[in-house]
Structure 1
Amino acid sequence: MTLSYEYNKEIINISETPNDVDVEFDIKILAENYWPGMKEIQKTFEEDDVYTDVLFYAYKNHHYRVIVRLDYYVDFILALMKHRLLENVKWN
């Protein structure tokens, strides 16, 4: 089973590239009122006990590169959904 998601392109741009043991996301938050949600997601994963679950690299203009271990992929997608950065998440 795979997980798919949809998002509003006026709020966020997301692309993902799978690797052997992780998935690399390129994320740009376009709508200012969603910036705090992304920061909260980053804080959540950075403060948990697993240091290599999700790694955030922040760039200018609310652009992020995020590396997510495969075993934390669902957790990361659901965190995006929780903060309304995604509109729809479903199992295929």
Structure 2
Amino acid sequence: MKIIYSYDEKLLDLNETANDDDIEFNINSLGMDIKQQVYKIREIFNENKVLTDILVYAHTNQRYQIIVRKDFYNDFIIELFRQQLVTEVKWA
């Protein structure tokens, strides 16, 4: 099953690009400070034993680059939803 998500395009610019075994997300905040949500996501994934599940890079001006292993993709999207960075998640 494929996961589909949506987000408020007035608040975020969110793009994902598939690489070999990873998916790269570029998230830009268009207003609100999302640093706490992004760091909370990183903290949650740091609690498991897999060191390379997600890699988070913070850039200037509320821009984040997050590399997610494909086998953690659904977990990552669900966590974006929990942190209110995406507004809807459904499976198709």
Equivalent pairs counted in the alignment come to 92
Cα root mean square deviation, aligned = 1.4
Larger helix proportion of the pair? 1
Please say if residues 25 and 67 of structure 1, whose CA atoms lie closer than 8 Å, have aligned partners that are also in contact.
Answer: yes
Partner in structure 1 of residue 67 of structure 2: 67
- Deviation larger for 12-21 or 69-78: 12-21
Structure 1 alignment gaps of length 5 or more = none
C-alpha contact (below 8 Å) 1:11/1:30 kept by paired residues: yes
Mark the CA change 1:9 to 1:83 in structure 2 (over 3 Å): closer, same or farther: same
Gaps of 5+ in 2: none
The alignment's TM-score, normalised by the length of structure 2, stands at 0.89
- The TM-score, its normalising length taken from structure 1, stands at 0.89
Identity rate of aligned residues, in percent? 39
- Runs of 4+ in structure 1 deviating by more than 6 angstroms, as ranges, are none
